[in-house]
Structure 1
Amino acid sequence: MNIIKPAALLVAATALLAGSTVAATAADSPDGTRVTATPDGTRVTSIQQTVDQVLAGHPKALKVTANEVKYDGMTATRAPKGKLGAQDLDCAYGHLCMVVKNTKFDYYKCQTWTVSNWTGDGPFTNNQTPGTVAKFFNKDGSVRWTSTAYEAGRATWDPIYSLRPC
């Protein structure tokens, strides 16, 4: 399987929006501030600093708002308050959308995306052209499950290691 690896950005975007980092450490300091070490070892103490670190390492990424990062073919949006649910999953025609850990992922480019730290379950909408099959893969690259457009429902994200919208 040929995997395009915007993985570092996707993982980092997931991390900044979901409040965790990959290949990094995070802990609460004695004063309650969340202290995070980015994959390159830089310590940051705020979501804004984490966003800045992610964007600095990925010049093709675009910070749209304080809680949204856009990359060529994918947008990740963190809910500012509360939890995202199926009612919040507005998914444009031609897109594959899902909520993972209170972050909405909106895929609109046909390629394989590596993901990390996806756990729990959440809503999804496959609003691509009728008959388009989205595939979700296990760690070994085997297909875990598929969704044929149009389809909407709930899915268990663990253990999903990559996906291909088309």
Structure 2
Amino acid sequence: MVRELGSVVTTEVRVDSDTAAEILDVLARYAQVIDNRDWDQAHTVFTDDVVFGAGEAARQGISAVQEMVETVRPYHPHHTSNTILTRRPDGTIRAWSKFVIVRTDGTAGSGDYQDTLVHTDRGWRIAHRVASRGNRRRDDPGGPSSRTFTFASWRE
């Protein structure tokens, strides 16, 4: 599908329903693996060389993601929804999802994930994930809003 967005023209290739189901399963497994710290199952979610984050704060590899997650106290469950998918010319899939976290004190936070998934011999896996905090107060325990995602960043 070719779309014109202002001065930007993009070609979006929709993802077939079987592939979408596989990818949505991976995204659901992410929350289960991370929230339950079931690191033996991390290979069902990530590539071995996954990049989590961007810039200097990015972590590479499953063990680095594990180290980062283990520092978060108290931990909070993740709920992922509103995922949109598109196939890239190089065969990867881009996913853009909303997430909600519920903290132990009952407060909530939200944001977005933008993922690049690759097809491996084990199925689809997250090769790169970037998160953006959205709709949060300045004094939010997880940090203030940092909403930086747009359709332009999703298409990069």
Q: TM-score, normalised by structure 1?
A: 0.25
TM score, norm. by length of structure 2: 0.26
More helix by share: 2
